[in-house]
Amino acid sequence: FLEQVRENGEYLRWQLEKLLPVCPEIVSLRGRGLMLGLDLGIGAQPVIESCAENGLLVCKAGDQTLRLVPPLIVERPHIDEAVRILKLAFQTVRDSHVKKS
């Protein structure tokens, strides 16, 4: 069980690292295992709201940090779906910001 948790934590980090070049809002990724944080160059609240609208619950750790703490029993398809929703949320927030400008 713990080996699966470790592998899923590595997989989640790897998937999130792939977002860095395509989501300029993400300043850095930090954390360990399945407990990860995305430090943002924007406020976290609009991203959290967009994620929730698409079925992903995330929380914040400060005004500009998304906290990701999936359950220990998370599986790779869930991770893939979560990362897809995160990417969509960043795009939605980016598009919303452009429309306001």
pLDDT tens-digit readout, 5-34: 999 999 999 999 999 999 999 999 999 999
The pLDDT of residue 98: 72
Residue 100 has pLDDT above 90, yes or no: no
Would the pTM of this model clear 0.75, i.e. be above it?
A: yes
Give the whole-angstrom CA distance, residue 9 versus residue 100. Answer: 37
Confidence of residue 101 (pLDDT cuts 50, 70, 90): low
Tokens of 98: 């452009």
Give the whole-angstrom CA distance, residue 68 versus residue 54. Answer: 16
Mean pLDDT to the nearest integer, 79-90: 98
